[in-house]
Amino acid sequence: MTALLEVKNLTRAFVGLVAVNDVSFSLQAGRITALIGPNGAGKTTCFNLVAGALRPTAGQVLFEGRSLEREPPEAVCRMGIARTFQIVRPMTDMSVLENAMVGAFSWTTNVKEAREKAYESLENVGLAGKANARTDQLTLPDRKMLEMAKALSTRPKLLLLDEVMAGLRPTEAAGVVGVLHRLAEGGLTILLVEHVMRIVMEVASTVVVLHHGAKIAEGKPSEVVANPAVLESYLGAGFHA
Amino acid sequence: MQRTSNQASDTKRWSAGALVFAALAVVGGMSNAYVISLLTIVLLFTFMGQSWNLMLGIGGQLSIGHALFVGIGAYAVAILNIKYGVTPWIGLLLGAVIAGFVGAVLAWLSFRFEVRGIYFALLTIAAAEFVRIMFGGWDYVGGMQGLFYQAPSGAMDLGMLRGDARFYYFVALALAAIGVAGTELISRSYWGYVWRAMRDDDEAARALGVRTFRHKVLVVSISAATAAIGGGVLGLVQGAIFPDSIMGMAISVDVLIGPVVGGLGTAFGPLVGSMAAIPLHHAMGALGDALGLPGLNSVAYGAVLILVVWFLPDGIWPSIVRLYGATQLPARGRIPQLRKVEE
Ligand SMILES: Nc1ncnc2c1ncn2[C@@H]1O[C@H](COP(=O)(O)OP(=O)(O)O)[C@@H](O)[C@H]1O
Ligand SMILES: [Mg+2]
């Protein structure tokens, strides 16, 4: 099987702390992979490194065999990697539809085409009915979905989702899980950061576990939850299943 | 889905605009010389305000030295016409090209070296003041004595852009109409969408593939070029140009007062704002002269600015629109908070 994305020995140090420490993993095309770990484990930093928002201290990111570490975020996006922000970042003075159109302008300059793509993305996440709303009229779950719609409009090959289901009610989360499955069936590769293990078990075919910046486990969800090191990192030393 | 409601409001906006400009054309046919000359200035600053509005209200880049570009345009037209007898049309074109280039270089250097937001704005003032002082000491461009156009013969000459006050009124009216319509069109074009995206959130826009660096350079360059066209016509209207009058801080303030008072990022805001602020400025100037209180006009400007920022922070125009209950309107007219400008 070919890897769409390969992360090799990725390291990022901040002053006084190594947020991502020698992490390697690869993503299979068309699969959903979950990146999990306790708060502060380095998941968002990892996303920022892949998306070009941060430069790695060491290591490599290969996308379709091409090296990404020196590319700015807009170039990474144009190569086919779209990301959402853990803390939602709507364009506040643009409508929901206009927000979703921006991503489409990474591959077209035709406004009509961008608008159609934006409607399609909004429909994908169940927001089409609110296309003309202002972003400050959206609930938090809807804003998370808008983040996803914006990313989808770029026509990504790889989608990086940072806690898009945090704060959603179980039924809403179930809806999103359905969306992710549909997107993956359509050939999209997804890397998602998610805290709720039940959801991870449901969507991910592979799980990568970070702790204090280092990868401590990787495997099928069922394997990973049975891994003592993982349980310990989540529940503190002394816990044994 | 509400695709149709947008089309309906589009038609409404365009019809309203056409009506306003038709009314202004009628006014131009009827009014006396004083009103005509005042409105000519209002309309020219509507156009230049629109160019400034494009840069901040849509592109998110703050300039407080637009007099630089206004001056470049004015001098390009004046030098070519007065010294070499070249038609102002060529001067306007050349001025726009030079100003666009200067704007692009200024933006490129600043943004390349991470000089952004308020610091970029300070740089625009510094550049304007530098060129103003330089022109004041440069004999070729007339130095402090400035450059004088020949008194108009009175006969209208479209090819040489000469004519009476009413002629310039209609030139200014045409420019203002182009400014308003152009802003509306650009705002809904590919450029408008990506510029507004980078205005609202630069990092998020980049994550969506927007090459914000080149778009910032582009928006500054286009804003500079259009401001220069306004400046070229302003010089013709005034009949003479001096570094202090055409490139001073006062011009930079006159350019931005319309959009700020009227509504940033909107197509009509600069028109409404210039209509409100510039006649007041002139009236207060006259009153100040009569009362022996020079500077009353500046105080009036300050007061208007404070009142608008305090009571109508989005500007006059968006407040009017809201009165008519257009709550569905995306909030396009907000003054980008300094948070955004500082980024
Ligand atoms: N820009 C930054 N500067 C300094 N430290 C940072 C920065 N970004 C993240 N960190 C630190 O790096 C660690 C990992 O953070 P993050 O990647 O956000 O974790 P996660 O997303 O897994 O919760 C945290 O200790 C965080 O405080
Ligand atoms: Mg995080």
A194-206 pLDDT per residue, tens: 988 888 988 999 9
* Confidence at B339, pLDDT banded by 50, 70, 90: very low
pTM, entire model: 0.91
pLDDT(B118) > 80: yes
A115-161 pLDDT per residue, tens: 999 999 999 999 999 999 999 999 988 999 999 999 999 999 999 99
The Cβ-side half-sphere exposure at A157, using a 13 Å CA radius, reads 12
Which of 152-191 (A) contact B at CB < 8 A?
Answer: 153-154
In a domain, residue B86? The reply is yes
In Å, how far is A108's CA from the nearest CA of chain B?
A: 9
Three-state secondary-structure class, residue A138: coil
With a CB cutoff of 8 Å and minimum separation 6, the contacts of A236 are: none
Helical (H) or strand (E) element with B116 = none
Query: What is the pairing mode between strands A189-193 and A32-36?
Result: parallel
Minimum mean pLDDT range among A53-57, A233-237, B124-128, B288-292? A233-237
Chain B residues lying within 8 Å of A73, measured CB to CB: 203, 206-207
Domain with residue B200: its CATH number is: 1.10.3470
pLDDT the model gives residue A236: 63
In a domain, residue B84? The reply is yes
In a domain, residue B304? The reply is yes
Which of A10, A11, A12, A14 has most ligand 1 atoms within 8 Å of its beta carbon, as the pocket-test mutant?
A14
In a domain, residue B31? The reply is no
pLDDT the model gives residue B125: 96
The total domain count for chain B is 1
* Confidence at A1, pLDDT banded by 50, 70, 90: low
Domain range spanning residue B48?
37-333
In a domain, residue B21? The reply is no
List the domains of chain A with CATH numbers: 1-71+191-241 (3.40.50.300)
B145-180 pLDDT per residue, tens: 999 998 877 788 888 888 888 999 999 999 999 999
pLDDT the model gives residue B343: 40
pLDDT the model gives residue A167: 83
- The answer, for A103 touching chain B at a CB cutoff of 8 Å, is yes
* Confidence at B318, pLDDT banded by 50, 70, 90: confident
> For the residues A213-236, what does the mean pLDDT come to?
86
Give per-residue burial for B67-78: e unless 16+ CB within 10 Å, then b.
bbbbbbbbbbbb
What average pLDDT is seen over chain A?
92
pLDDT(A187) > 70: yes
User: What is the C-alpha to C-alpha distance for residues A48 and A61, in angstroms, rounded to an integer?
Assistant: 11
pLDDT the model gives residue B332: 45
- The answer, for A116 touching chain B at a CB cutoff of 8 Å, is no
In a domain, residue B343? The reply is no
In a domain, residue B339? The reply is no
In a domain, residue B24? The reply is no
Residue A114 and residue B190: Cβ atoms within 8 Å?
yes
pLDDT(B285) > 50: yes
pLDDT(B3) > 60: no
